[in-house]
Each structure stands twice: as C-alpha cells, then as structure tokens.
Chains A and B, each alone.
Chain A
Amino acid sequence: GENVEQHPSTLSVQEGDSAVIKCTYSDSASNYFPWYKQELGKRPQLIIDIRSNVGEKKDQRIAVTLNKTAKHFSLHITETQPEDSAVYFCAATGTDSWGKLQFGAGTQVVVTP
C-alpha cells in the first residue's frame, strides 16, 4: 500500500519568512495530493490540493509543487504570519484506492513574531 513520509516534523520560522514542508510517497499510481492544516483541538482543514496532471498550484500565500518522477510533493508558505502556526499534514491517494488517504506524520509549524 501507499506510504507517505513527511519532513521536517517541526519547523520554526520568523514571521514574514517562508516555510517549506516536503513529502515523499511510494505508490506511483497515486494521483491526488491534499494538504491539511490542523490547529490545536480543531478539525483538519483542507487548504490546498494538487492532482498528478499538474506540476504546481498556488492560492495566495500557499503553493504546492509535485514531482511525479521523484515521487515527492511540497507545501510552500510565503510571508508567514502567526496564524499560520499549526500542524500541517500531507496525504496521497490513487484512483485504485479512491478516498483512502494515506497521511504523513505531520509538521508542527511555529511562526514567531
């Protein structure tokens, strides 16, 4: 089955700097890669996603890139703000297991003013 590894486990950045989280996946058939943000005690919130037919997607200060050959994808947050502090999870799934999201272990992002 799919295995997703996520790095780093913790990330501390100064407000205004950029943050990058990287994930690798094992199943070359995977074709959907969402990113979730989870604040303490809250639900995971879908913030951005990318499908395998696209190399990059942006939404305001966040972007996701996908390298299918290397089987890795990354989340980029620019101009970080204190409200970006949360745990971020990457995930992957493929059409043969549609909906069965395999999550990474998460990255704790702390943005200090």
Chain B
Amino acid sequence: EAGVAQSPRYKIIEKRQSVAFWCNPISGHATLYWYQQILGQGPKLLIQFQNNGVVDDSQLPKDRFSAERLKGVDSTLKIQPAKLEDSAVYLCASSFLLYPEQYFGPGTRLTVT
C-alpha cells in the first residue's frame, strides 16, 4: 500500500520569497492534515481538510499561509512571504473519514535564510 507522498523533500529559500508544498494522501483517505514541526518539538496542526472542505484552520497564520485541496485528493500548502521562523518540517498526514488514525508523509524540510 502506497503511503502519503510529499514533495519537495527539501527547500531552501530567502526570507520574503514564496514556497509551495505538495501532498498526495493515501488512496481513499478523505481527511488530510498539514502540520508544522519545528526542530525539537512535536508536530502542530496547521489545517485539516475533509474532502475538499476546511474543518479546522485555527492555527494557520492566514496572513502568509494558504492551503487548498482541489477535488478532495491532492493538497498544496503555500507560504508567501516566508519568514525566518517558518523554518521547519512541514508534514502532511491523512486518515479515513471519521477514523482518528493518522498516517504521515516524509515531510518537507524548509530552511528560510
């Protein structure tokens, strides 16, 4: 069974530039999550989608972060403009609808210089 796919795996940008991350969830998983994991900390939920609708984006810094999940499958997370404190690993996870078990992708390590 294929797992959650993410790309790119690594990205280095300068502050004030923009960046986008892509996620393809496990087939059949209606719920998709984006997490931010700062070095030495646990993942923090940024946004949760159910199919193509947003369930929770209360911790998403909406002045610079945006996310979409067109057609209820793949998702993209964008940061514009990036700040130094956005340096982190961005993890995508997915789960079956109404099931709590979440499965993570390999993440994208973002470095903002």
Contact = CB atoms under 8 A, between A and B. Distances in A.
Interface of A: 6, 32, 34, 36, 42-46, 49, 89, 91, 93, 97-101, 103-106
Contact of B48 (A49, A100, A103): A100
A34 B100 contact: yes
A99 B91 contact: no
A32 B100 contact: yes
Contact of B91 (A32, A43, A106): A43
B105 A43 contact: yes
Interface stretch (B14-22, B39-47, B63-71, B77-85): B39-47
B18 to A, nearest CB: 25
Chain B at the A interface: SS class: loop
B1 interface: no
Given A99-B33, A99-B95, A106-B40, 6 more contacts: A36-B104, A43-B4, A46-B101, A49-B100, A99-B100, A103-B43
Contacts of A93: 100
18 contacts: A6-B42, A34-B100, A34-B102, A42-B106, A43-B3, A43-B4, A43-B105, A43-B107, A44-B104, A89-B42, A89-B43, A98-B98, A100-B48, A100-B56, A103-B42, A103-B44, A104-B42, A105-B40
Contacts of A100: 45, 48, 56
Contact of A101 (B4, B45, B105, B106): B45
Contacts of B55: 99
B31 interface: yes
B102 A99 contact: yes
B104 A99 contact: no
Contact of B42 (A45, A91, A97, A99): A91
Interface string B20-51: 00000000000101000000111111001000
